[in-house]
Amino acid sequence: MHKSEVRRIVDDTLDEMGLRECADRTIGNWHLRGISGGEKKRLSIALEILTHPRLLFLDEPTSGLDSAAAFSVIQTLRQLAVDGGRTIISSVHQPSSEVFTLFDDLCLLSSGECVYFGDAKLANQEAELDPLLKYSTTEIRERLVEKYRISEYAMMVRSTIHEITKIEGVMEEVIRGSQASWFKQLRTLTKRSFTNMSRDFGYYWLRIIIYIIMAVCLGTIYYDVGTSYTAIQARASCGGFVSGFMTFMSIGGFPSFIEEMKVFTLERHNGHYGVAAYVISNFLSSLPFLLTVSWASASITYWMVKFRPGFSYFAFFALNLYGGVSVIESLMMIISALVPNFLMGLILGAGVIGIMMLTSGFFRLLPELPKIFWRYPVSYIVYGSWGLKGAYKNDLIGLEFEPMMPGQPKLKGEYIITDMMGLSLNHSKWLDLAMIFVLLFSYRLTFFLVLKVKEYASPYIRVAYTRFTVKRLERRASFRKTLAMTSLSKRHNPPHPMAIQEGLNSPMPY
């Protein structure tokens, strides 16, 4: 589809939903205010009708709205149904009289039983019984159910359902998935995600400021650390802070990840784009911000502490920080896909990152870690151990430090790495850096697989959870008592009105 055609469809949708003024206002003043509750409702509906669905299901489109906003939303939906030839099915609780008059057909349910199904304007005729004030709520419902069961509307519904069940074959070809090419999806998602990240001050801009402040604090504490004997521990501590705590601060993006996953879930269910396009676009859109975080922080800390002079050493320091921050971002994306609860996700993420820091080789040297599990394989699959080893090699190799006692020979950086820290020099620092990016790729791949598995497994998980919940409720005495009272009451009730409809157990529109 040509870009001009897409633009026209979007403009028409904005006009149909009464969002033109909102769009013009928000584009220029996004940083001043958001959109109102009614505008959010209409925006969510507009996103669904962009693809021109023939059938649209809406669950409580008026919930949380005042009477004027509710009437505006339903009136817009009615106009869409009339002008666009769409069928719109909506569930509404306690609509106002003005909203009720906008509906064409009505399916009225009470305690799971059909009380009325037919023309909404004729529903009041069904309720014209004897004065109902003398009856209890249960008796009123039973009388309404019985009257509908023997009405012409119920007979018409049963006849229509019977005819529908005779239809065989596919009546119309259904188009599944996005009609845009994969690269079009990737380009559009990357642009949108980058725009959202740029507009949301708390997504990256605030974190960039915090990182710069932290870099200044770190630089002043370890300012011109030098090459004395005590500087050995100071340099190691500074490297440990950068590889551990400064990357740990990326957990601050988790709230934004949670909100982003909600949008992804909705759009993925509608088949707007693929999982791979989403994962790659998220990485590409965040790349400029994470590079800014790492290079800005590295520029301040590196020159204030006065690590090894030379651009290649500085570049390694900055790339090492970028790799660690990106890995933590990827880890938090995985957690946001697994645990959609903000508090649980934050606790889980902090716990996992804490374990990574413990096995990175700073709090306890890598050779001294328990060989089973913590040394092999945990220390090899966390970014911290590779980042810290690379940082030590980048800073210490080629330097000489004052001895602990005057008169003793100076300590070379290689000796400190191998004998004092127990690390090997069999491979270069660039391999350590490359392993961080291998882990970054692995984490992103894991994020992709989690989304795919969750997509296929979520229906089975919901069914299993529902069964578990029902069994748990059945073990409660209060629930069993309520169930027994309901069963006793139904002995005197007429049969379920839909139970006699050709073996079907749910009504269908006609």
Other C-beta atoms lying within 10 Å of the C-beta of residue 288: 13
Is residue 190 within a helix (H) or strand (E), and if so which, with residue range? helix 182-199
Q: Is residue 447 part of a domain?
A: yes
For residue 126, the model assigns a pLDDT of: 54
pLDDT tens by residue, the chain, 510 residues = 555 666 666 676 666 666 766 666 555 554 445 667 667 777 777 777 776 778 888 888 887 777 887 888 888 888 888 877 788 888 888 888 888 888 888 888 877 778 788 788 777 665 554 555 566 777 777 777 787 778 777 888 788 888 877 776 545 555 555 667 889 899 999 999 999 899 888 889 998 999 999 999 999 999 999 999 999 999 999 988 888 888 888 887 888 888 888 889 888 887 788 999 999 999 999 999 999 999 999 999 999 999 988 999 999 999 999 999 999 999 999 999 988 788 888 889 889 988 998 999 888 999 999 999 999 999 999 999 999 999 999 999 999 999 988 888 999 999 999 999 989 999 999 999 999 999 999 999 999 999 999 888 888 887 888 888 888 777 766 555 555 555 544 444 444 444 433 433 333 333
Domain stops at, among 74, 103, 132: 103
- The whole-number pLDDT of residue 416 equals 93
Residue 316 lies in a domain: yes
Dihedral angle sign, alpha carbons of residues 480, 486, 489, 491: negative
> Range of 304's domain?
188-463
* 53: in domain: yes
Last-in-domain residue among 103, 126, 145:
103
**Which residue, 86, 103, 120, sits at the end of a domain?**
103
Please tell me whether residues 411 and 287 are part of one structural domain. Answer: yes
Q: Would residue 278 count as lying in a domain?
A: yes
For residues 207 and 249, what is the distance between their CA atoms, to the nearest angstrom? 8
Does a structural domain hold residue 415?
yes
The reported pLDDT for the residue numbered 325 is 93
The β-bridge partners of 113 are 110
Verify that 91 and 199 share a domain, yes or no: no
Whichever domain contains 37, its CATH number is 3.40.50.300
- Same domain for 193 and 63? no
- Any domain includes 448: yes
Structure tokens at 432: 């350590």
> Do 325 and 221 share a structural domain?
yes
Residue 377 CA to its chain's centroid (Å): 30
CA distance 38 to 72: 9
- Token pair 């003005």 in the structure block, residue: 98
Q: For residue 355, what are its two tokens? A: 């374990």
Residue with the two structure tokens 């106002």: 96
- Domain assignment of residue 487, yes or no: no
Contact 330, 437 (CB under 8 A): no
Write down the pLDDT at residue 268. 87
Q: What is the maximum span of the chain, computed from C-alpha positions, in angstroms?
A: 112
Does the CA dihedral 404-408-409-414 come out positive or negative? negative
Looking at residue 485, what is its pLDDT? 54
Specify the DSSP element, H or E, that contains 411. Answer: strand 411-412
| Tens-place pLDDT, residues 240-296 | 888 888 888 888 788 888 888 888 988 888 778 899 999 999 999 999 999 999 999
Same-domain check for residues 383 and 270: yes
On whether both 264 and 401 belong to a single domain, the answer is yes
322 is a domain residue:
yes
Looking at the structure, tell me whether residues 259 and 389 fall in a common domain: yes
Residues in the chain: 510
| Separation of alpha carbons 510 and 370, rounded Å | 70
What's the total number of domains in the chain?
A: 2
pLDDT for position 505: 39
Does one domain contain both 284 and 414? yes
What's the CA gap between 424 and 363, in Å, rounded? 18
CA dist 178 to 48, 270, 273, 280, 366, Å? 13, 9, 6, 17, 49
